[in-house]
Amino acid sequence: MIALLRRDLAIAVRAGGGFGLGLAFFLVVVVLVPFGVGPDTATLTRIAPGILWIGALLACLLSLDRLFALDFEDGSLDLLATAPIPLEAVVGVKAVAHWLTTGLPLTLMAPVLGVMLNLPGQGFVWLVISLALGTPALSVIGAFGAALTVGLRRGGLLLSLLVLPLYVPTLIFGAEAARRGAEGMAVNTPLALMAGISFACCALMPFAAAAALRVNLR
């Protein structure tokens, strides 16, 4: 399993792996927001946590369709399914690799973009904590969506349609925690609820995703 993680990370960071694309997309989305809503700093301060969360979520979505599709096309997925590792673990490891190459860098980059959106000083730590706890759920829910659409020709668009509604609870609690943090309110409740969702997703979604993959490999 370590070997699979190392391979996926190596492929992601080498040429053509698309490692920086998600980060660049995040940057562009956040830069475009002030053009849309105006440069008024009070407005930007108010919407900064939500914008950063939505930007991170969309950037996360961007790389999902490659999660299993590449392995499906070159036959690796067939071989992994007949390997001694259970398919659930394969899904889990690939979701971890996705988080390490997408969710984690996004979390680290969010405070930098927070400065551009005039996020209040007390909000930074809660923004990072909420993203760090929430992005694993985004990766593993995304892995389920990717597993459902792996064999399809126009899978990318469908993947967004399937995955975005599933992101609603995570987004609500995550953005709420970041917003309350920025306004100096208590963040415990939304943060605890989101962490609960995140852990439950990490524990259960690999099974659903592996079931979908098995169906698609038939």
Partner 1 sequence: MQDDPAALKYSRMKSLWEYANPKKFMQVSGAMLPWAAGLSALCLVVGLIWGFFFTPDDYRQGSTVKIIYLHVPAALMAINAWLMMLVTSLIWLVRRHHVSALAARAAAPVGLVMTVIALVTGAIWGQPMWGTWWAWDPRLTSFLILALFYLGYMALWEAVENADTAADLTSVLCLVGSVFALLSRYAVLFWNQGLHQGASLSLDKEENVADVFYHPLLVSIAGFVLLFFALVLLRTRTEIRKRRLQALMNRERMG
Partner 2 sequence: MLSVSNLAIARGGVPVLEGLSFALNAGEALVLRGPNGIGKTTLLRTLAGLQPPLAGEVHVGEDVLAYAGHADGVKPTLSVTENLDFWARIFGRSEIAPAIAAFDLEGLTSRAAQNLSAGQKRRLGLARMMVTGRPVWMFDEPTVSLDAASVALFASAVRTHLAGGGAAVMATHIDLGLTEARVLDLGPYRAAAGVGAAEFDSDEAFL
Binding mask 138-177 for partner 1 (x = CB under 8 A): ------x---xx-xx-xx--x--xx-xxx-xx--xx--x-
- Give the interface size with partner 1 as a residue count (CB under 8 A): 29
SS (H, E, C) 44-92: HHHHHHHHHHHHHHHHHHHCCCHHHHHHHHCCHHHHHHCCCCCHHHHHH
Nearer to partner 1, 14 or 218 (CB): 218
Cβ proximity to partner 2, 40 vs 78, nearer residue: 78
Chain residues that interact with partner 2, rule: CB under 8 A: 2-4, 7, 10-11, 14-17, 73-76, 78-85, 217-218
Say if CB 68 and CB 213 are below 8 A apart. Answer: yes
Instruction: Return the number of the residue (14 or 154) whose C-beta is nearest partner 1.
Output: 154
Task: Compare residues 95 and 205 and give the one whose CB is closer to partner 1.
Answer: 205
- What CA–CA distance (Å, rounded) separates 89 from 207? 9
Contact 163, 64 (CB under 8 A): yes
Smallest distance, Å, CB 217 to partner 2? Answer: 5
DSSP 154: T
Least distance from C-beta 198 to partner 1, angstroms? 12
Instruction: Kindly list the residues in this chain that would bind partner 1 in the complex (CB under 8 A).
Output: 144, 148-149, 151-152, 154-155, 158, 161-162, 164-166, 168-169, 172-173, 176, 189-190, 193, 197, 205, 208, 211-212, 215-216, 218
